[in-house]
Chain A
Amino acid sequence: MSISRLFAIIKKEFTQIKRDKPSLVISIVMPLAMLFLFGYAVSTEVDHIPMAVFDQSKTQESRDFINAYRNSLYFNPDYYVDNIDELNNLLDTGIVKAGLIIPPDFSQYKNKMTNVLLKIDGSDPTTARTALSSGIMVSQHFSNKNTEEELSKKGMHIPNIGIDLSTKVEYNPDLNTLTFTIPGLLGLVMQNITIILTAFALVREKEKGTMEQLIVTPIKSVELMIGKLIPYILIGYTDFLMVLALSIYWFCVPVNGSIFLLLLLGFDFIICALAIGMLISTAAKTQTQAMQGAFMVLLPTIILSGFIFPREQMPSVIRAISDVIPLTYFLDILRGIIIKGVNANLLLNQIIVMTSMGFALLLIAVLRFRKRLD
């Protein structure tokens, strides 16, 4: 293998990337766009749910009750209405996602059973689920607290028995969605950029006909292949570092485990992505086909790898598919190191599977990557 030939290819490849807008966009703009889009938009946290209130009681008690909703921060009871139709209308138009209907005799709640109705817009299950559980929580808390007070005023008290459940959330105590999403994004960005750029770069020579000229030179397949891949390893890895820095310093998601291990396994994963990109390029004749191929591979990985939907809830067939996606393992690794701060021992399974997949894919890709055109 000739080092100067290798350098010639690397240099040429970088010059081409520099002059090719789509490549530049994919390598610089896409990781940032993905990070900020997913970082901000795909937050599944729901709070400040707009809520309409039909307060038929209009007493201090009912106002306290509404305030309890507001203070929970889950609801914004900003729409006061005078009849049920108005409330339904607000729900129908989607201006509010919840409606609280307080009966005229609400102030009597300490003496008799009082029915309050919380109507919820169920079209978005995530919002609805939050509204439902926090609504129940708020009113139960309100009711318990105030009825207890009333009882003790009357000289009675509830004996201190029963179950008191204490909870402690590990790893991500605030249940911050960003803490969960960002490490996954790191893997996704790296995968997408590397696969797309690699597939493009290798197909480009075929499509433009420049391969024909290269084939008649004494260049060896390995030199061509390695020379063409090194730039994309560098770009993919730089993007990884860039997104990692932004997650730590911008999104404040610290790395709890070993950063060295993270960097090492990041490189491991790049090899997987690179091999997938190469495989796509061996099947495609044009850049358009490569693009289609890349999306056919990328889309399932986004949905199945556990990046968005938890794998635990997938039907077994779908789960079996997700088992052969390298990103699945890398996400476990990323979340393990960044969020849980675990060491390599606990991730050994994932590391072994991912590394073996990388080598297997690379081997197939290299064998298929032929210097000859036919």
Chain B
Amino acid sequence: MDYVIELKDLTKRFGNITAVDKLSIKVPSGKIFGLLGPNGSGKSTTIRMICGIIKPTSGHGTVMGFDIVKESEKIKKSIGYMSQKFSLYEDLTVKENMDFYSSIYGLDKKERTERERIIIDMMELHDRENQIVSTLSGGWKQRLSLGCALLHNPKFIILDEPTSGVDPVSRRLFWNTIKKLTSEGLSVLVTTHYMEEAQESDFVAFMFNGHLLTFGTPSEIIKENNSNNLEDVFIKYVNEHGGMDKL
């Protein structure tokens, strides 16, 4: 089987906080992978190591076969990343942000015009092209973020809480887009707080306090835990392990 992510004992410490603790996981390519866990469980830290934003304290990892430390420049060419905090330019317009990122990804003029048109259609950003980003509401900003992450035709997209604080219409659009992209062969990593959303993933993993608790398809995990849905599983985990960690 072809794995988009393979992590082995990946660990990240900030001072005395262990944000990610010996995380080992293998995620198959071409699927939607939902990384779940309460706030502070280490999801963003894991993602930032995968993207080459921060270096692991110890352990190894590959993304699409490339080492996340030594070959992160190769990884960067074929991933699209949407960070948890909005990180495009608020003082530029929608179009200017897109132009900027397509140039940074090395798209030539023709490709750029074409890709930008496709993205604007996909994210339904018509009429907002010349709007300054700081004047957009949360949902529209997130659409633009996803759009910019897709400009260069990445093979793997990594979305850190793309739907938090987003209106239901945009959220629907997001998931439809994600599904459509995986049907075209893309791999997706997405973190979320919404368990009904997580249910739409092909695989999910639960993280807690930097540890990986479980990994599998949503139906497997629900069955293993004798629950009705992922939300119940999530609450069960938090209660069990939250209690344990207080000792």
What is A's interface to B at a CB cutoff of 8 Å? 2, 4-5, 7-9, 11-12, 15-16, 19-20, 208-219, 372-374
Contact = CB atoms under 8 A, between A and B. Distances in A.
A212 B85 contact: yes
Contacts of A16: 89, 91-92
23 contacts: A4-B103, A5-B103, A5-B106, A9-B104, A12-B89, A12-B100, A15-B92, A208-B87, A208-B90, A209-B87, A210-B89, A213-B88, A215-B53, A216-B51, A216-B53, A216-B76, A216-B79, A217-B76, A217-B101, A217-B105, A218-B77, A218-B104, A372-B55
3 A-B pairs with the lowest CB-CB distances in the bound complex, closest first: A8-B103, A213-B87, A216-B81
B87 A212 contact: yes
A213 B104 CA distance: 11
A209 B160 CA distance: 14
Interface string B22-61: 0000000000000000000000000000011111000000
Interface string B185-215: 0000000000000000000000000000000
B104 A217 contact: yes
A4 B105 CA distance: 10
B73 interface: yes
Interface in B104-148: 104-106, 132, 148
Interface of B: 51-55, 73, 76-77, 79, 81, 83, 85-92, 96, 99-101, 103-106, 132, 148
B109 to A, nearest CB: 9
Given A210-B89, A213-B87, A372 B104 contact: no
Contact of A373 (B54, B81, B106): B54
Given A16-B92, A210-B89, A218 B54 contact: no
B86 A209 contact: yes
A345 to B, nearest CB: 47
Nearest to B89: A210
Main SS at interface, chain B = loop
Nearest to B93: A15
Main SS at interface, chain A = helix
Given A209-B85, A210-B89, A2 B106 contact: yes
B118 to A, nearest CB: 19
Given A212-B85, A216-B76, A372-B54, A12 B96 contact: yes
A126 to B, nearest CB: 47
A6 to B, nearest CB: 10
A4 to B, nearest CB: 6
Contacts of A2: 106
B54 A374 contact: yes
Nearest to B14: A374
Nearest to B76: A218
B106 A218 contact: yes
A291 B73 CA distance: 33
A7 B104 CA distance: 9
A373 B53 contact: yes
Contacts of A211: 87
B92 to A, nearest CB: 6
A219 B88 contact: no
A16 B96 CA distance: 11
